[in-house]
Amino acid sequence: MRKVSIDYVKPGMKLAKSIYDSNGRVLLNKGVVLNENYVQKLKELSIPAVYIDDGLVPELKIDDVIAEETRLNAVCNVKKIFNKDVENNIAKNIIVHPEVFKSVNEIIEDLLSNSDIMVNLNDIRSTDDYVFGHSVNVCVLALITGIALGYERKRLYNLAVGAMLHDIGKIKVPKEILNKPGKLTADEFEIIKKHSQWGFEILKSNPNISITSRVAAYQHHERFNGQGYPQGLSGNEIHEFAQIVGLVDMYDAITANRVYRKAFPPHEAFEMIAGSGDYLFKYDIVKAFLDHVAAYPAGTFVQMNTGEIAVVMGTDKGMSLRPRLKILYDALGKPLKQPLYLNLAEVTDKVITRVLEEYEIESLRQNFEAK
């Protein structure tokens, strides 16, 4: 099982995970063998990648940190809010439905029952459904960070509500600006920046949402160095919830395909976030988050300093850059008769030097099928 860019998906490949739309409806079931019509339809729907089972790593199963049903329900509930029409730009007309809070509690339960949380799975969503999936991802990633920081249940809940609804102010941003494929003008960016204030006003009009949840939404674009917005706060002037939400918001945004650019690979996003400690976000928060995120998600094909080629099988908590590997090819590029298993956390003389490109993995797959 591995993730494959839609550009390299071909008829005959078998899906390893079902594909859903933002309403929770199944587009294609796990186990379906793709044909030309299916591949074309996925491209038309702007599905960026799929998980397939092509025999290269048949034993690898990549699980989400929360249940599939939990994620789907949460995305659907968020979509109900963002699809509301805002009449006359009046924020107080927007009521957050109780189903959203139910989804928050379900996500918390799933994560608290997971004894060894490690983010190995990249969420797959079309660019059209970005906002809904992003809101749920930010909630999940914020909670993982809060759990790592030792938050008790009530704090986790208030953090999660703020995270889930951090972008609710974008309801009031004109769609032509929000979905603009090109660079925003200075005036357009000023309008986008208002979503933090608008979000705070919307959440303030919902009395069952705590002040800390509202502040998380209001301040999530503030930065530790004082160069954020809307107030230009710095350091500990920024609420810890807002720093967490801002951090995971950035990570999820840069690892997703957008209308104006392609996603950054996870290992590059990891490096970007790792360099932001005590600059964009408080160092302790950055560390807590990155200890639970795999720089090389399971299913990633990598090459080591020895020249050997391997696939990532998993990553232990706190060892984000030192995953467990299955070595498939030796230093000369010859396939091993018996794969070797190696935990980079237990050795000092081997490191990952690069991630293989899709065309290289495709070549490996063809060689595998030719054997």
Q: pLDDT, tens digit, for every residue of 281-302?
A: 999 999 999 999 999 999 999 9
- Higher-confidence residue of 252 and 182: namely 252
Which pLDDT belongs to residue 124?
Answer: 61
Which pLDDT belongs to residue 128?
Answer: 56
Beta bridge partners of 26: 20
Which pLDDT belongs to residue 84?
Answer: 65
Tell me the pLDDT tens digit for each residue of 72-105: 999 999 988 887 655 444 555 677 888 999 999 9
Q: What is the mean pLDDT of residues 159-169?
A: 96
Residue partners of 59: CB distance under 8 A and separation at least 6: none
Structure confidence at residue 369 as a pLDDT band (50, 70, 90): low
pTM over 0.85: yes
- Higher-confidence residue of 90 and 48: namely 48
User: How far is the C-alpha of 271 from the C-alpha of 246, rounded, in Å?
Assistant: 16
Which pLDDT belongs to residue 246?
Answer: 98
Q: What is the mean pLDDT of residues 57-71?
A: 87
Q: Which domains does the chain have, with CATH numbers?
A: 2-53 (3.90.105.10), 68-290 (1.10.3210.10), 301-370 (no CATH)
The least confident of 113-117, 274-278, 292-296 is 113-117
Contacts 24+ apart (CB under 8 A), 309-317: 309/333, 309/356, 309/364, 310/342, 311/2, 311/56, 311/57, 311/60, 313/57, 313/60, 313/341, 314/118, 314/120, 315/118, 315/120, 316/118, 316/343, 316/345, 317/116, 317/117, 317/118, 317/291, 317/292
Tokens 């160069």, located at residue: 227
Which pLDDT belongs to residue 88?
Answer: 44
User: How far is the C-alpha of 32 from the C-alpha of 83, rounded, in Å?
Assistant: 31
User: How far is the C-alpha of 137 from the C-alpha of 135, rounded, in Å?
Assistant: 6
